[in-house]
Structure 1
Amino acid sequence: MERFTTLTGIAAPLPLMNIDTDMIIPKQFLKTIKRSGLGKNLFDEMRYADDGSEVEDFVLNQPAYREAQVIVAGDNFGCGSSREHAPWALLDFGIRCVISTSFADIFYNNCFKNGILPVVLPAEAVAILTKDAEKGANARMTIDLDAQTVTSSDGEVFGFEIDSFKKHCLLNGLDDIGLTFEKVGAIDSFEQTASQVRPWV
Protein backbone atom coordinates (compact mmCIF):
# COMPACT_ATOMS: atom_id res chain seq x y z
CA MET A 1 0.00 0.00 0.00
CA GLU A 2 1.28 3.47 -0.86
CA ARG A 3 2.25 5.63 2.09
CA PHE A 4 0.31 8.78 2.90
CA THR A 5 2.47 11.53 4.35
CA THR A 6 1.75 14.95 2.83
CA LEU A 7 -0.55 15.61 -0.09
CA THR A 8 -0.94 18.87 -1.99
CA GLY A 9 -3.54 18.67 -4.69
CA ILE A 10 -6.74 19.81 -6.31
CA ALA A 11 -9.85 19.41 -4.16
CA ALA A 12 -13.22 18.76 -5.76
CA PRO A 13 -16.30 20.14 -3.97
CA LEU A 14 -19.07 17.54 -3.64
CA PRO A 15 -21.31 18.99 -0.91
CA LEU A 16 -24.01 16.32 -1.06
CA MET A 17 -25.24 14.58 2.07
CA ASN A 18 -25.47 10.80 2.39
CA ILE A 19 -23.33 9.84 -0.62
CA ASP A 20 -23.60 6.08 -0.29
CA THR A 21 -21.36 3.34 -1.61
CA ASP A 22 -23.75 2.56 -4.45
CA MET A 23 -23.39 6.16 -5.65
CA ILE A 24 -19.61 5.88 -5.33
CA ILE A 25 -19.47 2.63 -7.33
CA PRO A 26 -22.79 1.14 -8.54
CA LYS A 27 -23.51 -2.54 -7.93
CA GLN A 28 -23.07 -3.62 -11.57
CA PHE A 29 -19.33 -2.94 -11.28
CA LEU A 30 -18.75 -5.19 -8.27
CA LYS A 31 -18.04 -8.35 -10.24
CA THR A 32 -14.30 -7.79 -10.25
CA ILE A 33 -11.93 -8.61 -7.38
CA LYS A 34 -9.21 -6.41 -8.88
CA ARG A 35 -8.49 -3.08 -7.23
CA SER A 36 -7.64 -1.44 -10.55
CA GLY A 37 -9.90 -0.28 -13.35
CA LEU A 38 -12.78 0.97 -11.22
CA GLY A 39 -11.86 4.66 -11.41
CA LYS A 40 -13.61 5.09 -14.75
CA ASN A 41 -16.88 4.06 -13.08
CA LEU A 42 -16.49 6.21 -9.96
CA PHE A 43 -19.80 8.05 -9.39
CA ASP A 44 -20.94 6.41 -12.62
CA GLU A 45 -24.61 7.35 -12.42
CA MET A 46 -23.76 10.99 -11.72
CA ARG A 47 -20.88 11.24 -14.20
CA TYR A 48 -22.55 9.70 -17.25
CA ALA A 49 -25.86 10.00 -19.06
CA ASP A 50 -27.81 6.94 -20.21
CA ASP A 51 -26.07 7.06 -23.60
CA GLY A 52 -22.63 6.95 -21.95
CA SER A 53 -21.79 10.60 -22.57
CA GLU A 54 -20.37 12.70 -19.77
CA VAL A 55 -22.65 14.89 -17.68
CA GLU A 56 -20.91 18.22 -18.17
CA ASP A 57 -21.90 19.85 -14.91
CA PHE A 58 -20.78 16.95 -12.67
CA VAL A 59 -17.75 18.18 -10.77
CA LEU A 60 -15.25 15.45 -11.78
CA ASN A 61 -16.12 15.97 -15.47
CA GLN A 62 -15.18 19.63 -15.30
CA PRO A 63 -11.67 20.41 -16.62
CA ALA A 64 -10.56 21.96 -13.33
CA TYR A 65 -11.27 18.79 -11.36
CA ARG A 66 -10.32 15.91 -13.65
CA GLU A 67 -7.05 15.52 -11.73
CA ALA A 68 -8.58 15.98 -8.26
CA GLN A 69 -6.91 14.11 -5.42
CA VAL A 70 -9.17 15.38 -2.64
CA ILE A 71 -12.95 15.43 -2.26
CA VAL A 72 -14.67 17.82 0.13
CA ALA A 73 -18.01 16.14 0.75
CA GLY A 74 -21.24 16.51 2.71
CA ASP A 75 -22.30 14.67 5.86
CA ASN A 76 -22.29 10.87 6.20
CA PHE A 77 -20.03 10.05 3.26
CA GLY A 78 -19.75 6.35 2.39
CA CYS A 79 -22.98 5.17 3.99
CA GLY A 80 -24.91 2.18 2.62
CA SER A 81 -23.57 -1.28 1.91
CA SER A 82 -20.10 -2.26 3.10
CA ARG A 83 -18.42 -2.67 -0.30
CA GLU A 84 -14.65 -2.27 -0.33
CA HIS A 85 -14.94 -1.49 -4.04
CA ALA A 86 -15.88 2.06 -3.01
CA PRO A 87 -12.42 3.05 -1.75
CA TRP A 88 -10.90 1.00 -4.60
CA ALA A 89 -12.77 3.17 -7.12
CA LEU A 90 -11.79 6.41 -5.38
CA LEU A 91 -8.13 5.42 -5.25
CA ASP A 92 -8.08 4.22 -8.85
CA PHE A 93 -9.45 7.60 -9.96
CA GLY A 94 -6.70 9.31 -7.97
CA ILE A 95 -8.49 10.38 -4.79
CA ARG A 96 -6.21 10.06 -1.74
CA CYS A 97 -8.22 12.09 0.78
CA VAL A 98 -11.90 12.71 1.52
CA ILE A 99 -12.93 15.49 3.90
CA SER A 100 -16.35 15.44 5.55
CA THR A 101 -18.11 16.10 8.82
CA SER A 102 -18.82 12.36 9.19
CA PHE A 103 -18.29 8.98 7.54
CA ALA A 104 -20.00 5.61 7.73
CA ASP A 105 -17.90 3.39 10.02
CA ILE A 106 -17.17 0.53 7.60
CA PHE A 107 -16.28 2.86 4.73
CA TYR A 108 -14.10 4.93 7.08
CA ASN A 109 -12.11 1.87 8.15
CA ASN A 110 -11.86 0.53 4.59
CA CYS A 111 -10.26 3.82 3.51
CA PHE A 112 -7.33 3.30 5.86
CA LYS A 113 -6.82 -0.23 4.56
CA ASN A 114 -6.51 1.12 1.02
CA GLY A 115 -4.29 4.17 1.47
CA ILE A 116 -7.01 6.83 1.58
CA LEU A 117 -7.15 9.37 4.40
CA PRO A 118 -10.68 10.22 5.58
CA VAL A 119 -10.58 13.52 7.47
CA VAL A 120 -13.36 14.49 9.87
CA LEU A 121 -13.75 18.22 10.49
CA PRO A 122 -16.48 20.42 12.00
CA ALA A 123 -19.19 21.72 9.66
CA GLU A 124 -17.78 25.26 9.75
CA ALA A 125 -14.36 24.06 8.58
CA VAL A 126 -15.85 21.85 5.84
CA ALA A 127 -17.91 24.80 4.61
CA ILE A 128 -14.78 26.95 4.32
CA LEU A 129 -12.87 24.18 2.52
CA THR A 130 -15.81 23.60 0.16
CA LYS A 131 -15.71 27.27 -0.83
CA ASP A 132 -11.95 26.99 -1.28
CA ALA A 133 -12.37 23.93 -3.50
CA GLU A 134 -14.86 25.80 -5.66
CA LYS A 135 -12.01 28.06 -6.82
CA GLY A 136 -10.83 25.30 -9.18
CA ALA A 137 -7.48 23.89 -10.16
CA ASN A 138 -5.45 26.91 -9.05
CA ALA A 139 -6.58 26.44 -5.45
CA ARG A 140 -4.66 23.53 -3.98
CA MET A 141 -5.10 22.16 -0.49
CA THR A 142 -2.37 20.54 1.57
CA ILE A 143 -3.08 17.64 3.90
CA ASP A 144 -0.26 16.83 6.33
CA LEU A 145 -0.94 13.55 8.11
CA ASP A 146 1.99 13.78 10.50
CA ALA A 147 0.94 17.26 11.65
CA GLN A 148 -2.76 16.32 11.33
CA THR A 149 -3.63 19.50 9.45
CA VAL A 150 -5.51 20.59 6.36
CA THR A 151 -4.35 23.87 4.86
CA SER A 152 -6.52 25.78 2.40
CA SER A 153 -5.16 27.56 -0.66
CA ASP A 154 -5.38 30.78 1.38
CA GLY A 155 -3.23 29.36 4.14
CA GLU A 156 -6.00 28.74 6.66
CA VAL A 157 -5.10 25.71 8.80
CA PHE A 158 -7.50 23.20 10.31
CA GLY A 159 -6.39 20.48 12.70
CA PHE A 160 -8.02 17.06 12.74
CA GLU A 161 -8.02 14.06 15.06
CA ILE A 162 -7.05 10.54 14.01
CA ASP A 163 -6.50 7.24 15.78
CA SER A 164 -2.77 6.78 16.41
CA PHE A 165 -2.70 3.21 15.07
CA LYS A 166 -4.51 4.16 11.85
CA LYS A 167 -2.13 7.09 11.46
CA HIS A 168 0.87 4.78 11.89
CA CYS A 169 -0.47 2.41 9.23
CA LEU A 170 -1.05 5.17 6.66
CA LEU A 171 2.28 6.89 7.30
CA ASN A 172 4.07 3.58 6.78
CA GLY A 173 1.90 2.17 4.00
CA LEU A 174 0.73 -0.78 6.08
CA ASP A 175 -2.46 -2.63 5.17
CA ASP A 176 -3.48 -5.87 6.93
CA ILE A 177 -0.96 -7.88 4.89
CA GLY A 178 1.79 -5.38 5.59
CA LEU A 179 1.06 -5.55 9.31
CA THR A 180 1.34 -9.33 9.14
CA PHE A 181 4.70 -9.12 7.37
CA GLU A 182 5.98 -6.96 10.23
CA LYS A 183 5.58 -10.06 12.42
CA VAL A 184 7.32 -12.49 10.03
CA GLY A 185 10.19 -13.10 12.45
CA ALA A 186 7.86 -13.98 15.31
CA ILE A 187 5.70 -16.14 13.03
CA ASP A 188 8.73 -18.06 11.71
CA SER A 189 10.01 -18.58 15.25
CA PHE A 190 6.63 -19.89 16.37
CA GLU A 191 6.40 -22.26 13.41
CA GLN A 192 9.90 -23.65 14.02
CA THR A 193 9.18 -24.22 17.70
CA ALA A 194 5.79 -25.75 16.94
CA SER A 195 7.26 -28.15 14.40
CA GLN A 196 9.80 -29.36 16.98
CA VAL A 197 7.32 -29.71 19.84
CA ARG A 198 4.48 -31.09 17.72
CA PRO A 199 6.08 -32.69 14.64
CA TRP A 200 2.90 -34.61 13.89
CA VAL A 201 0.95 -31.39 13.17
Structure 2
Amino acid sequence: MNENHFISGVAAPLPLANLDTDQIMPKQFLRGIDKNGLDIGVFYDMRFDEQGRKRDDFVLNRPEYAQTRVLVAGSNFGCGSSREHAVWGLQQFGIQAVIASSFAEIFHANAINNRLLPVVLSEPEVQAIMADASRPSTAEVSINIQAMTVRSHSCTAPFTLADRHRHMFLEGLDMIGATLEYKPAIDAFALEHWQSYPWLKHVAGRTRARLNQD
Protein backbone atom coordinates (compact mmCIF):
# COMPACT_ATOMS: atom_id res chain seq x y z
CA MET A 1 0.00 0.00 0.00
CA ASN A 2 1.47 3.33 -1.06
CA GLU A 3 1.20 5.76 1.85
CA ASN A 4 0.84 8.67 -0.60
CA HIS A 5 -2.43 7.17 -1.84
CA PHE A 6 -4.26 7.17 1.48
CA ILE A 7 -4.93 9.43 4.46
CA SER A 8 -6.66 7.74 7.36
CA GLY A 9 -7.14 8.36 11.05
CA VAL A 10 -9.19 10.23 13.57
CA ALA A 11 -11.31 13.09 12.24
CA ALA A 12 -12.16 16.03 14.50
CA PRO A 13 -15.31 18.14 14.00
CA LEU A 14 -14.95 21.92 13.75
CA PRO A 15 -18.48 23.06 12.83
CA LEU A 16 -17.57 26.72 12.32
CA ALA A 17 -18.14 28.55 9.05
CA ASN A 18 -15.68 31.24 7.91
CA LEU A 19 -12.86 30.00 10.12
CA ASP A 20 -10.12 32.40 9.06
CA THR A 21 -6.35 32.12 8.94
CA ASP A 22 -5.91 34.46 11.92
CA GLN A 23 -7.88 31.97 14.01
CA ILE A 24 -5.96 29.03 12.53
CA MET A 25 -2.58 30.73 13.06
CA PRO A 26 -2.65 33.98 15.10
CA LYS A 27 -0.30 36.76 14.04
CA GLN A 28 2.05 36.47 17.05
CA PHE A 29 3.29 33.15 15.66
CA LEU A 30 4.41 34.68 12.36
CA ARG A 31 7.58 36.27 13.72
CA GLY A 32 9.97 33.40 13.08
CA ILE A 33 12.29 33.28 10.11
CA ASP A 34 11.53 29.65 9.29
CA LYS A 35 8.62 27.21 9.39
CA ASN A 36 9.53 25.49 12.64
CA GLY A 37 7.50 25.48 15.85
CA LEU A 38 4.20 26.55 14.33
CA ASP A 39 2.21 23.65 15.79
CA ILE A 40 1.86 25.49 19.11
CA GLY A 41 0.06 28.35 17.35
CA VAL A 42 -2.63 26.26 15.66
CA PHE A 43 -6.06 27.47 16.89
CA TYR A 44 -4.19 28.99 19.82
CA ASP A 45 -6.98 31.25 21.08
CA MET A 46 -9.43 28.37 20.80
CA ARG A 47 -7.13 25.83 22.46
CA PHE A 48 -5.92 28.03 25.33
CA ASP A 49 -7.42 30.64 27.66
CA GLU A 50 -5.96 34.05 28.53
CA GLN A 51 -3.62 32.44 31.11
CA GLY A 52 -2.31 29.93 28.57
CA ARG A 53 -4.23 27.01 30.09
CA LYS A 54 -5.79 24.41 27.81
CA ARG A 55 -9.51 24.73 27.27
CA ASP A 56 -10.86 21.27 28.09
CA ASP A 57 -13.96 21.80 25.97
CA PHE A 58 -12.08 22.42 22.72
CA VAL A 59 -12.17 19.33 20.54
CA LEU A 60 -8.46 19.11 19.78
CA ASN A 61 -7.66 19.21 23.51
CA ARG A 62 -9.81 16.17 24.22
CA PRO A 63 -7.72 12.99 24.65
CA GLU A 64 -9.86 11.00 22.21
CA TYR A 65 -8.87 13.47 19.47
CA ALA A 66 -5.18 13.64 20.34
CA GLN A 67 -4.20 11.80 17.16
CA THR A 68 -6.41 13.78 14.80
CA ARG A 69 -5.33 13.55 11.16
CA VAL A 70 -8.39 15.05 9.46
CA LEU A 71 -10.46 18.13 10.24
CA VAL A 72 -14.12 18.26 9.26
CA ALA A 73 -14.87 21.97 9.05
CA GLY A 74 -17.52 24.53 8.16
CA SER A 75 -17.79 26.32 4.84
CA ASN A 76 -15.29 28.92 3.58
CA PHE A 77 -12.48 27.39 5.62
CA GLY A 78 -9.24 29.40 5.58
CA CYS A 79 -10.68 32.78 4.64
CA GLY A 80 -8.92 35.99 5.65
CA SER A 81 -5.25 36.74 5.02
CA SER A 82 -3.10 34.62 2.75
CA ARG A 83 -0.63 33.48 5.43
CA GLU A 84 0.92 30.18 4.40
CA HIS A 85 1.84 29.63 8.06
CA ALA A 86 -1.72 28.41 8.63
CA VAL A 87 -1.07 25.44 6.36
CA TRP A 88 2.40 24.76 7.77
CA GLY A 89 1.07 24.87 11.33
CA LEU A 90 -1.77 22.46 10.62
CA GLN A 91 0.68 20.01 9.08
CA GLN A 92 3.07 20.27 12.02
CA PHE A 93 0.11 19.62 14.31
CA GLY A 94 -0.46 16.36 12.43
CA ILE A 95 -3.35 17.39 10.20
CA GLN A 96 -3.10 15.85 6.73
CA ALA A 97 -6.48 16.78 5.27
CA VAL A 98 -9.40 19.15 5.78
CA ILE A 99 -12.93 18.29 4.67
CA ALA A 100 -15.32 21.18 4.02
CA SER A 101 -18.00 22.28 1.58
CA SER A 102 -15.84 25.22 0.44
CA PHE A 103 -12.43 26.78 1.00
CA ALA A 104 -11.05 30.26 0.61
CA GLU A 105 -9.22 30.30 -2.73
CA ILE A 106 -5.78 31.31 -1.43
CA PHE A 107 -5.88 28.84 1.45
CA HIS A 108 -6.87 26.09 -0.99
CA ALA A 109 -3.89 26.93 -3.21
CA ASN A 110 -1.49 27.08 -0.26
CA ALA A 111 -2.79 23.74 0.98
CA ILE A 112 -2.40 22.02 -2.39
CA ASN A 113 1.07 23.47 -2.92
CA ASN A 114 2.24 22.09 0.44
CA ARG A 115 0.39 18.74 0.25
CA LEU A 116 -2.30 19.44 2.83
CA LEU A 117 -5.32 17.85 1.16
CA PRO A 118 -8.43 20.06 0.89
CA VAL A 119 -11.44 17.82 0.24
CA VAL A 120 -14.54 19.59 -1.08
CA LEU A 121 -17.82 17.75 -0.51
CA SER A 122 -21.46 18.78 -0.57
CA GLU A 123 -22.84 20.28 2.61
CA PRO A 124 -25.02 17.21 3.39
CA GLU A 125 -21.97 14.94 2.97
CA VAL A 126 -19.87 17.17 5.23
CA GLN A 127 -22.62 17.17 7.85
CA ALA A 128 -22.84 13.36 7.75
CA ILE A 129 -19.09 13.00 8.26
CA MET A 130 -19.21 15.75 10.91
CA ALA A 131 -21.80 13.73 12.82
CA ASP A 132 -19.59 10.64 12.64
CA ALA A 133 -16.55 12.63 13.78
CA SER A 134 -18.51 14.03 16.72
CA ARG A 135 -18.65 10.54 18.24
CA PRO A 136 -15.17 9.21 19.11
CA SER A 137 -16.38 5.66 18.47
CA THR A 138 -17.11 6.52 14.81
CA ALA A 139 -14.52 9.25 14.20
CA GLU A 140 -12.22 7.26 11.91
CA VAL A 141 -12.09 8.56 8.33
CA SER A 142 -10.29 7.12 5.31
CA ILE A 143 -9.44 9.15 2.22
CA ASN A 144 -8.40 7.28 -0.91
CA ILE A 145 -6.57 9.82 -3.07
CA GLN A 146 -6.15 7.47 -6.01
CA ALA A 147 -9.88 6.66 -6.14
CA MET A 148 -10.79 10.15 -4.85
CA THR A 149 -13.25 8.90 -2.24
CA VAL A 150 -13.86 9.66 1.43
CA ARG A 151 -15.26 6.99 3.73
CA SER A 152 -16.55 7.54 7.26
CA HIS A 153 -18.73 5.37 9.48
CA SER A 154 -21.96 6.32 7.71
CA CYS A 155 -20.90 8.11 4.53
CA THR A 156 -18.93 7.33 1.39
CA ALA A 157 -18.49 10.27 -0.96
CA PRO A 158 -16.46 11.08 -4.08
CA PHE A 159 -14.41 14.25 -4.44
CA THR A 160 -12.47 15.81 -7.28
CA LEU A 161 -8.94 17.06 -7.79
CA ALA A 162 -7.34 18.59 -10.85
CA ASP A 163 -5.18 16.02 -12.62
CA ARG A 164 -1.95 17.79 -11.73
CA HIS A 165 -2.97 18.14 -8.08
CA ARG A 166 -3.90 14.47 -7.86
CA HIS A 167 -0.55 13.60 -9.43
CA MET A 168 1.26 15.73 -6.84
CA PHE A 169 -0.39 13.93 -3.93
CA LEU A 170 0.04 10.47 -5.39
CA GLU A 171 3.73 11.09 -6.09
CA GLY A 172 4.43 12.88 -2.80
CA LEU A 173 5.29 16.19 -4.47
CA ASP A 174 4.88 19.75 -3.32
CA MET A 175 4.80 22.57 -5.87
CA ILE A 176 8.59 22.76 -6.07
CA GLY A 177 8.87 19.03 -6.61
CA ALA A 178 6.17 19.14 -9.28
CA THR A 179 8.00 21.95 -11.07
CA LEU A 180 11.29 20.04 -10.96
CA GLU A 181 9.67 17.22 -12.92
CA TYR A 182 9.85 19.62 -15.88
CA LYS A 183 13.54 20.44 -15.33
CA PRO A 184 14.77 18.80 -18.57
CA ALA A 185 12.23 20.78 -20.59
CA ILE A 186 13.08 23.97 -18.68
CA ASP A 187 16.79 23.44 -19.29
CA ALA A 188 16.20 22.76 -22.99
CA PHE A 189 14.09 25.90 -23.34
CA ALA A 190 16.72 28.00 -21.55
CA LEU A 191 19.50 26.65 -23.80
CA GLU A 192 17.53 27.40 -26.95
CA HIS A 193 16.58 30.84 -25.65
CA TRP A 194 20.15 31.90 -24.87
CA GLN A 195 21.38 30.52 -28.18
CA SER A 196 18.76 32.63 -29.98
CA TYR A 197 19.27 35.77 -27.87
CA PRO A 198 22.83 35.60 -26.48
CA TRP A 199 23.00 39.40 -26.01
CA LEU A 200 20.32 39.12 -23.27
CA LYS A 201 22.24 36.65 -21.14
CA HIS A 202 23.69 38.08 -17.93
CA VAL A 203 22.87 41.58 -19.16
CA ALA A 204 22.42 42.88 -15.60
CA GLY A 205 25.78 41.51 -14.49
CA ARG A 206 27.57 42.88 -17.52
CA THR A 207 25.97 46.29 -17.04
CA ARG A 208 26.96 46.37 -13.36
CA ALA A 209 30.54 45.36 -14.23
CA ARG A 210 30.75 48.11 -16.86
CA LEU A 211 29.44 50.73 -14.39
CA ASN A 212 31.94 49.62 -11.78
CA GLN A 213 34.74 50.10 -14.27
CA ASP A 214 33.59 53.66 -14.87
TM-score by length of 1: 0.91
Q: Report the counterpart of residue 177 of structure 1 in structure 2.
A: 176
* Cα root mean square deviation, aligned: 1.8
CA distance in 2: counterparts of 1:102 and 1:132, whole angstroms: 19
29-38 vs 144-153, which deviates more?
29-38
Q: Report the counterpart of residue 186 of structure 2 in structure 1.
A: 187
List gaps (5 residues or longer) in structure 2: 202-214
SS of the residue 1:98 aligns to: strand
SS of the residue 1:130 aligns to: helix
Q: Report the counterpart of residue 59 of structure 1 in structure 2.
A: 59
Alignment of 1:27-176 (within 5 A): 27-136=27-136, 139-154=139-154, 156-176=155-175
Change (3 A) 1:16 1:145: same
Q: Is the 8 A contact 1:64 1:137 kept in 2?
A: no
157-166 vs 120-129, which deviates more?
157-166
Q: Is the 8 A contact 2:132 2:138 kept in 1?
A: no
Q: Is the 8 A contact 2:12 2:139 kept in 1?
A: no
Percent same amino acid among aligned pairs?
A: 46
More helix as a share of residues: 2
The structural deviation recorded for 1:117 is 0.8
48-57 vs 179-188, which deviates more?
179-188
74-83 vs 185-194, which deviates more?
185-194
CA distance in 1: counterparts of 2:110 and 2:163, whole angstroms: 16
Considering Cα pairs closer than 8 Å and 6+ residues apart, tell me whether 1 or 2 has the greater RCO: 1
Q: Is the 8 A contact 2:4 2:172 kept in 1?
A: yes
SS of the residue 1:168 aligns to: helix
List gaps (5 residues or longer) in structure 1: none
CA distance in 1: counterparts of 2:185 and 2:139, whole angstroms: 48
Q: How many residues of Structure 1 are paired with residues of Structure 2 in the alignment? A: 198
Which amino acid counterpart does residue 157 of structure 2 have in structure 1? F
Q: Is the 8 A contact 1:11 1:70 kept in 2?
A: yes
SS of the residue 2:68 aligns to: coil
SS of the residue 2:23 aligns to: helix
What CA deviation, in whole Å up to 9, does each residue of 1:114-145 have, x standing for no partner? 11111111111111101110121663110011
Q: Is the 8 A contact 1:24 1:43 kept in 2?
A: yes
